[in-house]
């Protein structure tokens, strides 16, 4: 606690007592006049009041976005690139305030929002500002007199439904490519984390044409379906759990529109014996690589929540791992020395505790943690101690996404067994492989059925690397410039310069 | 008496009756993965297309309760108690009770050997 006593928590910025929807470039009260309290998981206390919108507000937002699209669809690449850079600059100028807001909304440690979430948000807008300047469609000389042009055109109004685990970063992942491609957006934030995105809109509203981004808060049960089935919505992007993902796909069939889904994961993180060939920087990195299950309080769809460790190094490796987990500093999430913050809600905390109980009932051995953390700084907040279970891959704690700081560890004998266990899951989002053997790294990374394999690293999210799921983890990709094509149509213009008729008629 | 896979608390059954009055017949599907995963989703019957290979775990207050076939492999040994809690934090699911600041939750436990032997077929 000594470090914590010396470093003061960051001061809470002044927030408004009530926020509104952001529609057509204006702050608009919900038509029904209803609001709900937004509680902070940091202390369980109200932060502000947020619109509890209805179908009417969604209709207003879609209308505003459609109107904006009439001119935004004709914006030039240069104009959109300049705009996205200005968005990035405005966020950067407000970085600390937004990082603190994200921490208060979600509960995660401010150390993470300052060092990871916000820098990645800013970079995402700059990345898409840059890549649209450097790409072009394609032209083919089909024959000396026939030219085929593949032209990109935006889809129109797109709906985006984002999760609560990275409220600003997941918004940026969806907003930046959609705007870069020339679309207008209606975005529904997640219920538990509605505030930080509204502060972000305050910061960037001046640089956006009115109606290009519209934000409507409210219960998914009331506004989700209206948004996803709206006839003027040309695409739905969703991040969340599997059943809602299926529902989104089903709704998309009504208007025959595409949907991209980023769903759950139960990512394997595989450690081969060669990591312990030396007690050096790389071995230290591998230990941290395992302990990253506690990153973002474990509330990450790519959380490395299954650690597969080669039998021959299990004991000495785990000894070092447990020392590192023991050193995880918990406390006030607003204190920059705090390493792990709160879970997003009381129900989320209860669900995690339920899984911890199930792990014990199934006979898994709890190596560390396994209970709530009573935070002396915030007794009303929702905290769980980082927890590690040892068991086998058929247990529920190895198969279900807990979405908390709970790691399930098991051992394997050889590469074949490691791969079999790694792929014995309904998900395929993230994965990690750690070894000093290049051939082993290659065969494992090709063998694992997942959209992302981190090789000798974990939890890095550069803009220029695609991200998405195999199996039940979703459809489509995010990040990387390939994302632009999921937000636009391809139009083929086929031109003949031959003056003569075909000769059929 | 044979063992049921799903049971329901007083709070959940009251919420189901309330939602039935507003929406008509309902259906439950146990979700997996990500933010609001591992929670039972409640929809108007017919609004959610229940995947044809999903497994029916039982009936709660006259509503069918399903789970996907691959999740059932791991839930096979678990009993679910459908409960309903306050949820002032909201959710990003479309489950009907979230509009009323409530949330259905699945509290599960592993069957005893006796219960598992006597599961309702």
- What local confidence, expressed as pLDDT, does residue B33 receive? 74
Residue A2 has pLDDT above 70, yes or no: no
Cα dihedral: A393, A394, A400, A401 (round 10) = 0
Chain A, nearest residue to B106 by Cα:
A351
- What local confidence, expressed as pLDDT, does residue B120 receive? 80
**What pLDDT digit, counting tens, does each position of A256-302 carry?**
999 999 999 999 999 999 999 999 999 999 999 999 999 999 999 99
Provide mean pLDDT across the span A36-56: 96
Q: Is B28 in CB contact (< 8 Å) with chain A?
A: no
Provide mean pLDDT across the span A475-494: 96
Mean pLDDT of chain B: 92
Chain A, nearest residue to B97 by Cα:
A221
Closest CA to A429 of A359, A478, A482: A478
B34–A240 C-beta distance less than 8 A = yes
- Number of neighbouring beta carbons within 10 Å of residue B92: 26
B75–A396 C-beta distance less than 8 A = yes
- What local confidence, expressed as pLDDT, does residue B89 receive? 77
Largest CA distance in chain A: 91
Contacts of B52 (CB under 8 A, 6+ apart): none
Residue to mutate among B29, B30, B32, B86, with most A CBs inside 10 A, is B32
Task: Say which of A20, A301, A303, A478 is annotated catalytic.
Answer: A301
What does the radius of gyration of chain B's CA atoms come to, in whole angstroms?
14
Element of type H or E holding A477: strand A477-478
Provide mean pLDDT across the span A395-419: 97
Contacts of A434 (CB under 8 A, 6+ apart): A269, A270, A271, A272, A275, A286, A289, A456
- What local confidence, expressed as pLDDT, does residue A5 receive? 61
B90–A36 C-beta distance less than 8 A = yes
A1: confidence class by pLDDT, cuts 50, 70, 90: very low
Token pair, residue A448, equals 């694992």
- What local confidence, expressed as pLDDT, does residue A460 receive? 97
Residue A41 has pLDDT above 70, yes or no: yes
CA distance A465 to A468: 10
Provide mean pLDDT across the span A332-341: 97
Helices A415-423, A438-447: crossing angle, 10 deg rounding: 30
Contact between residue B93 and residue B39 where contact means Cβ atoms under 8 Å apart: yes
Q: Is B32 in CB contact (< 8 Å) with chain A?
A: yes
Among A247, A265, A401, select the one facing B94 at the smallest CB separation. Answer: A247
CA distance A88 to A227: 27
Residue to mutate among B87, B92, B111, with most A CBs inside 10 A, is B92
Residue in the block written with tokens 């509503």: B63
CA distance A204 to A185: 15
**What pLDDT digit, counting tens, does each position of A18-31 carry?**
999 999 999 999 99
ipTM of the complex: 0.93
For this structure, is A303 an active site residue?
no
With vertex at residue A374, the alpha carbon angle to CA A368 and CA A378, rounded to the nearest 5 degrees, is 140
Element of type H or E holding A70: helix A55-72
Contact between residue A155 and residue A486 where contact means Cβ atoms under 8 Å apart: no
Using DSSP, state whether A234 is helix, strand or coil. Answer: strand
- Number of neighbouring beta carbons within 10 Å of residue A145: 12
DSSP letter, residue B5: S
**What pLDDT digit, counting tens, does each position of B15-71 carry?**
999 999 999 999 999 988 777 778 899 999 999 999 999 999 999 999 999 999 999
> Could you give phi then psi for residue B37, rounded to 5 degrees?
-70, 175
DSSP letter, residue B33: S
Token pair, residue A470, equals 């195999």
**What pLDDT digit, counting tens, does each position of A151-202 carry?**
999 999 999 999 999 999 999 999 999 999 999 999 999 999 999 999 999 9
- What local confidence, expressed as pLDDT, does residue A251 receive? 96
Lowest-confidence segment of A33-42, A275-284, B69-78 by average pLDDT: B69-78
Its pTM stands at 0.96
A401–B70 C-beta distance less than 8 A = no
Provide mean pLDDT across the span A227-253: 96
Nearest-neighbour CA in chain B from A367: distance (Å): 21
Q: Pairing between strand B63-67 and A488-496?
A: unpaired
Token pair, residue A34, equals 């209803």
Mean pLDDT of chain A: 96
For this structure, is A301 an active site residue?
yes
Contacts of A116 (CB under 8 A, 6+ apart): none
- Residue predicted with more confidence, A359 or B89: A359
- What local confidence, expressed as pLDDT, does residue A310 receive? 98
Q: Which residues of A touch B39 (CB under 8 A)?
A: 241, 351
- Residue predicted with more confidence, A2 or A266: A266
Q: Is A299 in CB contact (< 8 Å) with chain B?
A: yes
Contacts of A151 (CB under 8 A, 6+ apart): A137, A490, A491, A492, A493
Nearest-neighbour CA in chain A from B1: distance (Å): 24
A4: confidence class by pLDDT, cuts 50, 70, 90: low
Provide mean pLDDT across the span A29-46: 96
Residue B91 has pLDDT above 80, yes or no: no
Q: Is A29 in CB contact (< 8 Å) with chain B?
A: no
Quickly list H helices, A269-345: 281-291, 314-326
DSSP letter, residue A188: E
CA distance A167 to A105: 8
Element of type H or E holding A441: helix A438-447
């Amino acid at each position: 606690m000594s470090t914590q006593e010396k470093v003061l928590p960051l001061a809470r910025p002044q927030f408004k007592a009530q926020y509104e929807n952001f529609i057509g470039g204006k702050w608009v009260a919900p038509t029904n006049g209803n609001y709900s309290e937004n509680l902070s998981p940091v202390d369980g206390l109200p932060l502000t009041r947020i619109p509890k919108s209805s179908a009417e507000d969604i209709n207003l937002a879609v209308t505003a976005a459609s109107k904006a699209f009439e001119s935004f669809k004709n914006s030039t690449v240069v104009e959109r690139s300049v705009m996205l850079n200005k968005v990035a600059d405005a966020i950067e100028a407000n970085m600390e305030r937004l990082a603190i807001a994200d921490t208060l909304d979600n509960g995660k440690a401010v150390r993470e929002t300052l060092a990871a979430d916000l820098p990645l948000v800013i970079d995402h807008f700059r990345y898409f500002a840059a890549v649209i300047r450097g790409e072009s469609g394609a032209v083919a000389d089909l024959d000396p007199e026939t030219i085929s042009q593949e032209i990109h055109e935006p889809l129109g109004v797109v709906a985006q439904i984002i999760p609560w685990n990275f409220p600003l970063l997941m918004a940026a992942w969806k907003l930046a490519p959609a705007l870069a491609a020339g679309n207008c957006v209606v975005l529904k934030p997640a219920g538990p984390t509605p505030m930080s995105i509204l502060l972000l809109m305050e910061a960037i509203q001046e640089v956006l044409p009115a109606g290009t981004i519209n934000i409507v808060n409210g219960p998914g049960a009331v506004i989700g379906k209206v948004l996803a089935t709206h006839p003027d919505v040309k695409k739905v992007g969703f991040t969340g759990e599997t059943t809602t993902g299926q529902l989104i796909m089903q709704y998309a069939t009504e208007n025959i529109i595409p949907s991209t889904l980023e769903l759950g994961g139960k990512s394997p993180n595989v450690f081969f014996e060669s990591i312990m060939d030396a007690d050096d920087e790389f071995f230290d990195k591998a230990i941290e690589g395992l302990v990253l299950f506690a990153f973002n309080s474990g509330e990450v769809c790519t959380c490395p929540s299954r650690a597969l460790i080669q039998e021959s190094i299990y004991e000495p490796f785990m000894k070092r791992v447990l020392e590192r987990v023991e050193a995880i500093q918990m406390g006030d999430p607003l204190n920059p020395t705090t390493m792990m913050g709160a879970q997003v809600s009381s129900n989320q905390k209860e669900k995690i505790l339920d899984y911890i109980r199930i792990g014990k009932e199934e006979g898994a051995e709890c190596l560390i943690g396994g209970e709530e953390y009573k935070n002396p700084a915030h007794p009303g907040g929702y905290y769980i101690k980082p927890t590690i279970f040892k068991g086998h891959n058929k247990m529920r704690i190895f198969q279900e996404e807990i979405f908390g700081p709970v790691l399930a560890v098991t051992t394997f004998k050889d590469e074949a067994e490691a791969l079999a266990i790694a792929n014995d899951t309904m998900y395929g989002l993230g994965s990690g492989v750690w070894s000093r053997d290049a051939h082993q790294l290659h065969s494992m990374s090709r063998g694992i059925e997942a959209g992302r394999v981190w090789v000798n690293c974990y939890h890095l999210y550069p803009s220029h690397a695609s991200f998405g799921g195999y199996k039940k983890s979703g459809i489509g990709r995010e990040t990387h410039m390939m994302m632009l094509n999921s937000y636009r149509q391809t139009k083929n213009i086929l031109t003949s310069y031959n003056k003569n008729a075909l000769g059929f008629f | 008496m044979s063992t049921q896979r799903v049971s329901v608390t007083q709070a959940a059954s009251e919420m189901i009756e309330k939602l039935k009055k507003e929406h008509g017949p309902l259906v439950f599907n146990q979700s997996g993965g990500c933010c609001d995963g591992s929670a039972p989703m409640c929809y108007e019957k017919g609004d959610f297309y229940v995947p044809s290979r999903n497994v029916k775990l039982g009936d709660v207050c006259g509503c069918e309760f399903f789970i996907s076939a691959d999740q059932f492999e791991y839930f096979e040994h678990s009993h679910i108690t459908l409960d309903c809690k306050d949820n002032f934090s909201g959710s990003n699911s479309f489950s009907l009770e979230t509009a009323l600041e409530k949330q259905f939750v699945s509290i599960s436990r592993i069957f005893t050997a006796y219960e598992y032997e006597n599961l309702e077929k």
